[in-house]
């Protein structure tokens, strides 16, 4: 632990740099998407400090960071930036994580850190999980135009998402060397998940064959990304969403129930989990399959399945009875550092 000492005015910048480089990326090895979320949070916080409190980026120190400032920041996110509760909570979680690091490095700020970490998250009304039925999934696959290269890529993309239940960030990072084929032709995909935790996912024979044909057709080598985009080395998250939106739009003509669902890439993950659960797979195995750190994260699928059964029960006849823009373009080192990550 760092020796207790008086914090200088510029130590906020060095703390923030060490938080990202040594703690987040070095020790915890968080995903690039988490780094991006945290980086954006501190960019917005720095803007807020200047716009609302007149504190320039280079003048920010731990003396001006307190619970009242952070509470005001959450209101700013909600009212000025029109952020949803989920986004506000993500920003607050990033700041709480930083303050935990600060209290470790500078114990004299433990009191301030504890007050900030005690700020409650916004309560979010939990929505019923959206997932695809087998008929809806078949409709999406049949809507892929497999006579052309993009259609064959889309078909494989949907198969992988549904078969594996992986996150879209995990899928777009898959390289040729992550496809592990056995002598019988079946394949396991090696996935690097949250916290740089590796797991292997077995694929159906159909998915394995489709993957092998795709890799052969396009000459995918070990260091090549599996799913490339137009003029980019691999598909982006937004690119995957765009392709799925197109496929869903085409599928609604033959499968009208899709009109009532917002099909995002993450819906395929929900669909995999529900399919496993309804097939009798125990929840702890599903948690391992999905790469969940806690079985509590997976419990929501069991709750969703109960609701499905309740809806089915309600269809039965009961027996009869008697019953913004930036105003300030900062060029300070701290913003340059965040931009460089």
Q: Which residues are catalytic?
A: 167, 194, 266, 269, 292, 301
First CA to last CA across the chain, in angstroms? 25
Q: In the β-sheet with 179-181, what is the strand arrangement from edge to edge? A: 179-181, 187-192, 198-202
For residue 270, CA distances in Å to 8, 15, 263 come to: 48, 38, 11
Q: What is the DSSP string of 162-184?
A: HHH---HHHHTT-BGGGEEE-TT
Sequence-distant (≥ 6) Cβ neighbours of residue 259 within 8 angstroms:
252
Question: What's the half-sphere exposure (Cβ side, CA atoms, 13 Å) at 159?
Answer: 23
Site of tokens 């607050």: 92
Distance CA 154, CA 268 (A): 14
Distance (Å, whole) CA 16 – CA 21: 9
- Residue 154's contacts (CB-CB under 8 Å, 6 or more residues apart) are 144, 145, 243, 247
Question: Could you give the CA distance from residue 212 to residue 220 in angstroms, rounded to a whole number?
Answer: 10
Q: What's the rounded Cα separation, in Å, for the pair 7 and 16?
A: 13
Task: Map 56-94 to HEC letters.
Answer: CHHHCCCCCCCHHHHHHHHHHHHHCCCCCHHHHHHHHHH
């Amino acid at each position: 632990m760092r020796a207790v000492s008086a914090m200088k005015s510029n130590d906020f910048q060095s703390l923030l740099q060490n938080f990202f480089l040594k703690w987040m990326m070095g020790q915890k090895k968080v995903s690039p998407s988490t780094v991006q979320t945290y980086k954006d949070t501190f960019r917005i916080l720095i803007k807020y400090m200047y716009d609302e409190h007149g504190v320039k980026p280079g003048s920010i120190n731990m003396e001006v960071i307190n619970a009242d400032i952070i509470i005001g920041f959450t209101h700013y996110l909600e009212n000025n930036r029109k952020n949803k509760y989920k986004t506000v909570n993500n920003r607050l979680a990033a700041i709480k994580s930083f303050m935990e690091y600060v209290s470790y490095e500078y114990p004299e700020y433990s009191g301030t850190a504890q007050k900030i970490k005690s700020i409650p998250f916004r309560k979010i009304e939990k929505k019923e999980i959206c997932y695809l039925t087998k008929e809806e999934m078949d409709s999406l696959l049949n809507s892929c135009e497999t006579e052309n290269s993009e259609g064959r890529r889309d078909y494989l993309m949907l198969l992988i998402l549904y078969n594996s239940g992986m996150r879209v960030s995990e899928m777009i990072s898959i390289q040729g060397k992550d496809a592990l084929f056995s002598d019988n032709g079946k394949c396991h995909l090696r996935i690097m998940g949250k916290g740089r935790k590796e797991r292997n996912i077995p694929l159906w024979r159909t998915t394995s064959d489709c993957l092998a044909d795709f890799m052969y057709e396009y000459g995918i080598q070990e260091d090549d990304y599996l799913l490339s985009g137009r003029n980019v080395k691999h598909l982006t998250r937004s690119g995957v969403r765009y392709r799925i939106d197109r496929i869903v739009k085409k599928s609604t003509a033959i499968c009208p129930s899709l009109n009532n669902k917002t099909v995002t890439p993450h819906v395929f993950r929900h669909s995999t989990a529900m399919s496993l659960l309804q097939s009798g797979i125990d929840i702890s195995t599903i948690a391992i399959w999905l790469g969940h750190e806690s079985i509590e994260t997976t419990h929501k699928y069991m709750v969703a399945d109960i609701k499905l059964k309740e809806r089915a029960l309600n269809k039965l006849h009961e027996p009869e009875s008697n019953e913004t823009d930036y105003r300030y373009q900062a060029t300070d080192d701290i913003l340059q550092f965040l931009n460089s990550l």
